[in-house]
Amino acid sequence: MSSELGGWWIHRVAPFRTPGDPVVLFRRLREVVASMPRTHIVTATDDYLRAVCRTRLGFRDDLEFRWCPLEGVAHVTSASRVGIFDFGVNRRRVERVRRGLEAINSGEH
């Protein structure tokens, strides 16, 4: 799954938008991603986050967020390291992060 141009349309997902400061967005992204089971954050800065997620079967997937100042969005990529079919795991992961951010933004966490 990726929010950036290129690749197959079926693997597209919407980028993460913020009406405010991207530093706040990435702080919140870090909070949501750190709370996910079997997930290890590898790199986290004010405009970039990279994590490795293990599936229930033990496969490793990469999860990455990159701030794009020209577009005012954080692009996301979530991809399996092995194979081309992931049974929707990566799309569900991205949407789980999106729901987690919505919960934080609404004060529900």
pTM (predicted TM-score): 0.88
User: What are the pLDDT digits (tens) for 74-99?
Assistant: 999 998 888 766 788 899 999 999 99
Q: Could you tell me if residue 1 is inside a domain? A: no
Q: Could you tell me if residue 4 is inside a domain? A: no
Q: Could you tell me if residue 2 is inside a domain? A: no
CB-CB contact of 63 with 44 (8 Å): no
Q: Could you tell me if residue 3 is inside a domain? A: no
Q: Could you tell me if residue 34 is inside a domain? A: yes
**Which CATH number covers residue 48?**
3.30.310.80
Distance CA 108, CA 56 (A): 27
Please report the pLDDT score of residue 50 as a whole number: 98
Q: Could you tell me if residue 60 is inside a domain? A: yes
Domain ranges, residue 36: 9-105
